[in-house]
Amino acid sequence: MKLLTVLLLSLTLLSCGDKKDVSVSKPGGQINGAGATFPYPIYSKWFNEYAKINKDAKINYQSIGSGGGIKQITEGTVDFGASDSPMNDEDISKANSKNNNKILHIPTVIGSVVLTYNIPGIDKNINLSSEAISGIYLGKIKKWNDPIIQKENPDTKLPDKEIIVAYRTDGSGTTFVFTDYLGKVSDEWKTKVGVAKDVKFPIGQGGKGNEGVTGLVKQLEYSVGYVELIYALQNNLKYANVKNTEGEFVSPNLESLTKAAEQSVNEIPADLRQSITNAKGKGSYPISSYTYILIYENQKDANKGKVMKEFLQWALGDGEKFAKDLGYAPLPDAVVQKAKSIVTGIKIQ
Amino acid sequence: MNTLDPGKEIKSRKKAGDIIFENITLLFALILVGLVVYIAIEMFLDSSESRSKFGFGFIFSQNWDPVKEDFGALPFIFGTIVSSLLALLISLPVSIGVAVFLSEIIHKSLRTSISFLIEILAAIPSIIYGFWGIFVFAPFMRSTVQPFLSTYFGFLPFFKGQIYGTGLLTASIILAIMITPIISSITRDVLKAIPVSQREAAYALGATKWEAIKMALLNARSGILGGSVLGLGRAIGETMAVTMVIGNKAQIKDSLFEPAYSMASVIANEFAEASGSLHISSLIEIGLILFGVTFIINSLARILIYSVTRKA
Amino acid sequence: MTSASIIKNPSNLRSRKIINSVMLTMCILAAVITIIPLLYIFFYTTQSGISSLNVDFFTQLPKPVGEEGGGMANAIVGSAILIGIGALIGIPVGILSGIYISEYSKTFVSTIVKFITDVLSGVPSIIVGIFAYGVIVIPMQRFSALAGGFALGILMIPTITKITEEMLKLVPQSLREASLALGVSRWKTTLKIVLKTASSGIVTGVLLAIARAAGETAPLLFTSFGNSFWQTSLDEPMAALPLQIFVYAISPYDDWHRQAWAGAFVLIFLVFVVNLLVRIVTRNKFSGNL
């Protein structure tokens, strides 16, 4: 009897699902995307601005983390995903075979991960070397006045207080970019912790999303966290100058991000998946990344496909002008051209 | 034949209506049962990958490492059990006090309004407790309670280490606030079920008021235990409030100041975002464990409560 | 239990009296300790929320991240729709299974149903969220209001079932007997006499379930998902008030915090009004623990 009920229930639910599938292609349907919190400020600005230009374009974006973006686009529960870490080959083949389609990476802007901190009494941007950053996150540097940190900040009296470390709990592109950098500068990090969207941090406490980590840093005195630049800017939090491969302490800004991207723009692969952390060259900020929109090449819903295509062309063109105010850097021209040609290749069925 | 016996026809017609009605209500009752069974089956099936990979070791492994795809539930089970038991420990004496206060001490005219206030406490959405927890309660813990505990009780391993404000202790206290109305209202009901004559007899023997109340409480103990277990069940399944204040770190530490993680919180944080199938399957297995634990605890609570209230 | 064990040291009256007053004081203290956080949460939410509670809050869409202003209009409407879907599932299943337990209470099945109802009321809401994700979101290939409403519906069932059962049991047996004696069939008696008599109680039960569902966040995280635009299609993601409060609460923006407090105030107000209503309607008819 129970089995019967279960059967009955699942049937009702299934038929319910079928019925809904029919309505997928209704005109003016809303487009749903989910993923990275890293570009959320600019995406929400874009979708808001673009809705003013194109009344039919209601693009709903939920910032659940890059891992979520990859997962949900793979499951097919959203129309596009967003991630700061390019999908790896395994994830791509899984998404492609599951949906019988081809996933595309469209870079949108360049962002940076900053080390933001809350040290009462210190109002300037402190300097952090890669040794200091990996030491803090490996749990080896415990206090703010540790010699490794202090020696790079001769003019600042750092307090004798324990460092409270904050990290991301969700599958996050920000975490990927940060650990990607740490993996490049510290062998110990690479072997002990690894490089991924979601790693097991040796120390600290977790917050959900860039929003959550920023919230933690704001709440907790003597804390440090890694977030996308705009989150520190909008909250008037201080962030560190980070030592690059040339030995300079660089602040994340339009110029230093563009420099980092330009170092390797000639080597960018055809699918535009490229890491630009620990970039060489003078003036490059070392913890930066492209952020991507993930979308399938074959758009099954003509309406949505058309709107998305138009939106992406707009974003890569006029949209880029919003990047600067929100602390992101626009893509180098060469990358814009390549990205636009990928967008043009999106097929509408 | 039937036409010759009109009475019989009416009777059978009536019966048909009754049978249909009974079966309709039965059907919906079975939908309810079916739903619970379906939930259990769904979670069992969806966690098969993790169950076959890790076996029983899943429950005892401390590792939760998405990079190496090695998952164990122990830190979450630890966080859930410690925070819930601690919440119960804090809440139980207070709840009994409240129940006694409401049923024995306070004047009847005030009783309704006070018990109404306490019921409201049970109805406040957990998201609001969490919100209040991060902005008001955690800073208070950080600035006042935890420094106090670490100064005067710092010799105990539970109150050592760094002070964050959020963490296991903070989560436990918020949970205690949330379950107090549940336990106290059940305790009150159970106390009501103890015949007044018993207390009168105690008074007649020269007992003080407290001694009479103590006797009633002793007689109601299995009901109170039931209420406590029910409160424990609620604490174990609590998600949002805990997620917002527990610190979200999968670790097992002595100190209650340290951040921890609970089963429900890890699902809330990671379920929509985990991309590896083993990761998802492990999260669902944690859900299955949580479901199993709350199932057992609630069953136990109901049996205990029935055993007292039925006597009344 | 003998008197000896109740009254320890009967001769030492003074210490017994001291213990008596100490313990009774402790009980009063316990009540005070319990009520303080309530009043604190209540006043704090009101104080922080009411200043942001303006016309925009009820009429505007959320603004892009970090920009001031905007409101939660779509989330309020979204919550109403989600609760509506939930009610469509929760009310029939809840009331009819409540009738079954109460009116056919002697069968083995009804004991099982009653037990399972209690179990369901203890199932963590996050689990119901996973379930709805597995059986609706994945097959439909989309987050939707339907999935969120389905999850809320499941969570509403046990409250409604139990209150229906309690209310029907309060209807005097003599009323049923009188109706049956008049030749009214049993099902008509149940529907037209018993259910009608208990209707005000059942309505309050439904209200209680709705108030509870209105504040549920966990099951919506991966079902209704959230939306930054107006949306009324049931097969699209939908914003919900508690979800919006959660997102805003953990965000680092002061303006969003203020709006989240305003949302929290709306929720608490709703809970308060519904509970007050329930109190007034049921008076002291029963004092169940639901």
Query: pLDDT per residue over A247-299, tens digit each?
Result: 999 999 999 999 999 988 988 999 999 999 999 989 999 999 999 999 999 99
Decide if B270 and A199 are in contact by the 8 Å CB cutoff: no
The pLDDT assigned to A64 comes to 86
Mean pLDDT of chain A: 87
Residues from chain A that touch B64, judged by Cβ atoms under 8 A, are 200
The pLDDT assigned to C228 comes to 86
The pLDDT assigned to C233 comes to 87
Q: Read off the pLDDT of each residue in C119-132 and give the average, rounded to a whole number.
A: 93
CA distance B98 to B224: 13
* For testing contact with chain A, the best of B37, B273, B283 (most A CBs within 10 A): B273
Which among A109, A111, A106 has a CA at the least distance from the CA of A309?
A: A106
pLDDT score of C237 more than 80? yes
pLDDT score of B162 more than 70? yes
CA distance A219 to chain B (A): 8
Q: Is residue C241 a contact partner of residue C76, using CB atoms and an 8 Å limit?
A: yes
* pTM for the model: 0.88
Q: To the nearest whole percent, how much of chain C has pLDDT over 70?
A: 93
Q: Read off the pLDDT of each residue in A132-150 and give the average, rounded to a whole number.
A: 95
A31-35/A80-83 β-pairing: parallel
The pLDDT assigned to B1 comes to 41
B70-71/A347-348 β-pairing: unpaired
Q: Read off the pLDDT of each residue in B163-184 and give the average, rounded to a whole number.
A: 93
In which element (H, E) is residue A31 found?
A: strand A31-35
Decide if C27 and B233 are in contact by the 8 Å CB cutoff: no
Decide if B211 and C260 are in contact by the 8 Å CB cutoff: no
Residues from chain B that touch C41, judged by Cβ atoms under 8 A, are 124, 128-129, 132
* For testing contact with chain C, the best of B14, B30, B98, B127 (most C CBs within 10 A): B127
Q: Is residue C224 a contact partner of residue C232, using CB atoms and an 8 Å limit?
A: no
The DSSP code sequence of A207-256 is: ESHHHHHHHHHHHSTTEEEEEEHHHHHHTT-EE-EEE-TTS-EE--SHHH
Question: What are chain A's partners, defined as 3 or more CB pairs within 8 angstroms?
Answer: B, C
pLDDT score of B164 more than 90? no
* For testing contact with chain A, the best of B166, B275, B281 (most A CBs within 10 A): B275
Mean pLDDT of chain C: 88
Question: What are chain C's partners, defined as 3 or more CB pairs within 8 angstroms?
Answer: A, B
* For testing contact with chain A, the best of C85, C142, C234 (most A CBs within 10 A): C142
Distances (CA, A) of A29 to A34, A245, A312, C81, C84: 16, 48, 18, 18, 22
pLDDT score of C288 more than 60? no
Mapping DSSP onto H, E and C, the string for chain C reads CCHHHHCCCCCCHHHHHHHHHHHHHHHHHHHHHHHHHHHHHHHHHHHHHHCCCCHHHHHCCECCCCCCCECCHHHHHHHHHHHHHHHHHHHHHHHHHHHHHHHCCCCHHHHHHHHHHHHHHHCCHHHHHHHHHHHHHHHHCCCCHHHHHHHHHHHHHHHHHHHHHHHHHHCCHHHHHHHHHCCCCHHHHHHHHHHHHCHHHHHHHHHHHHHHHHCCCHHHCCCCECCCCCCCCCCCCECCHHHHHHHHHCCCCHHHHHHHHHHHHHHHHHHHHHHHHHHHHHCCCCCCCC
Note whether B239 contacts C: Cβ–Cβ < 8 A. Answer: yes
Assign C8 a pLDDT band (cuts: 50, 70, 90): low
Does B272 or A144 have the greater pLDDT score? Answer: A144
Q: Read off the pLDDT of each residue in C94-121 and give the average, rounded to a whole number.
A: 90
Residue of C nearest to B237 (CA): C124
CA distance B82 to chain A (A): 18
Distances (CA, A) of B206 to A279, B100, B194, B210: 86, 20, 19, 11
Assign A4 a pLDDT band (cuts: 50, 70, 90): very low
Q: To the nearest whole percent, how much of chain B has pLDDT over 70?
A: 94
Q: Read off the pLDDT of each residue in A154-182 and give the average, rounded to a whole number.
A: 91
The pLDDT assigned to A25 comes to 38
Decide if A219 and B139 are in contact by the 8 Å CB cutoff: yes
- Which of A133-142, A219-228, B104-113, B257-266 shows the lowest per-residue confidence on average (mean pLDDT)? B104-113
Q: To the nearest whole percent, how much of chain A has pLDDT over 70?
A: 92
Closest partner residue to B209 among C20, C117, C275, by Cβ?
Answer: C20
The pLDDT assigned to C285 comes to 52
Decide if C109 and B26 are in contact by the 8 Å CB cutoff: yes
- Which of A163-172, A309-318, C117-126 shows the lowest per-residue confidence on average (mean pLDDT)? A163-172
Burial label, B116 (beta-carbon count in 10 A; 0-12, 13-18, 19+): middle
Note whether C225 contacts A: Cβ–Cβ < 8 A. Answer: yes
The pLDDT assigned to A27 comes to 44
The pLDDT assigned to A38 comes to 86
Residues from chain B that touch C157, judged by Cβ atoms under 8 A, are 32, 35
- At A283, list the tokens: 């003036």
Closest partner residue to C136 among A13, A30, A47, by Cβ?
Answer: A13
pLDDT score of B36 more than 60? yes
pLDDT score of B299 more than 60? yes
The pLDDT assigned to C7 comes to 67
Q: Read off the pLDDT of each residue in C9-20 and give the average, rounded to a whole number.
A: 83
Q: Read off the pLDDT of each residue in A287-313 and give the average, rounded to a whole number.
A: 93
The pLDDT assigned to B15 comes to 73
Distances (CA, A) of A232 to A38, A166, A203, A238, B310: 12, 14, 22, 7, 60
What digits encode the pLDDT tens for the residues A179-205? 999 999 999 999 999 998 888 899 988
Q: Read off the pLDDT of each residue in B244-261 and give the average, rounded to a whole number.
A: 91
In which element (H, E) is residue A296 found?
A: strand A288-296
pLDDT score of A10 more than 50? no
The pLDDT assigned to C87 comes to 96
The pLDDT assigned to C129 comes to 95
- Which of A1-5, B137-141, B270-274, C176-180 shows the lowest per-residue confidence on average (mean pLDDT)? A1-5
pLDDT score of C6 more than 90? no
Mean pLDDT of chain B: 88
pLDDT score of B81 more than 90? yes
Residues from chain C that touch B212, judged by Cβ atoms under 8 A, are 6
Assign B310 a pLDDT band (cuts: 50, 70, 90): low
pLDDT score of A221 more than 50? yes
Assign C201 a pLDDT band (cuts: 50, 70, 90): confident
Decide if B248 and A91 are in contact by the 8 Å CB cutoff: no
Q: Which residues 242-301 of B have a C-beta within 8 angstroms of C?
A: 244, 264, 267-268, 271-272, 284, 287, 290-291, 294-295, 297-299, 301
Measured over the CA atoms of residue C117, residue C207, residue C125 and residue C139, the dihedral's sign is positive
The pLDDT assigned to C15 comes to 87
What digits encode the pLDDT tens for the residues B222-240? 889 989 998 999 999 999 9
Question: What are chain B's partners, defined as 3 or more CB pairs within 8 angstroms?
Answer: A, C
CA distance C282 to C285: 5
pLDDT score of A20 more than 70? no
Note whether B110 contacts C: Cβ–Cβ < 8 A. Answer: no
Q: ipTM beyond 0.95? A: no
pLDDT score of B119 more than 50? yes
Assign B274 a pLDDT band (cuts: 50, 70, 90): confident
Closest partner residue to A200 among B37, B64, B272, by Cβ?
Answer: B64
Residue C145's identity, in one-letter code, is A
Decide if A219 and B250 are in contact by the 8 Å CB cutoff: no
The pLDDT assigned to A2 comes to 38
The DSSP code sequence of chain B is: -GGG-HHHHHHHHHHHHHHHHHHHHHHHHHHHHHHHHHHHHHHHHHTHHHHHHHTTHHHH---EETTTTEE--HHHHHHHHHHHHHHHHHHHHHHHHHHHIIIIIS-HHHHHHHHHHHHHHHHS-HHHHHHHIIIIIHHHIIIIIHHHHHHHSTTSGGG-S---S-SHHHHHHHHHHHHHHHHHHHHHHHHHHS-HHHHHHHHHTT--HHHHHHHHHHHTHHHHHHHHHHHHHHHHH--HHHHHHSB------S-TTS-B--HHHHHHHHTTT--SHHHHHHHHHHHHHHHHHHHHHHHHHHHHHHHHHTT-
* For testing contact with chain B, the best of A83, A200, A211, A213 (most B CBs within 10 A): A200
Decide if C122 and B298 are in contact by the 8 Å CB cutoff: yes
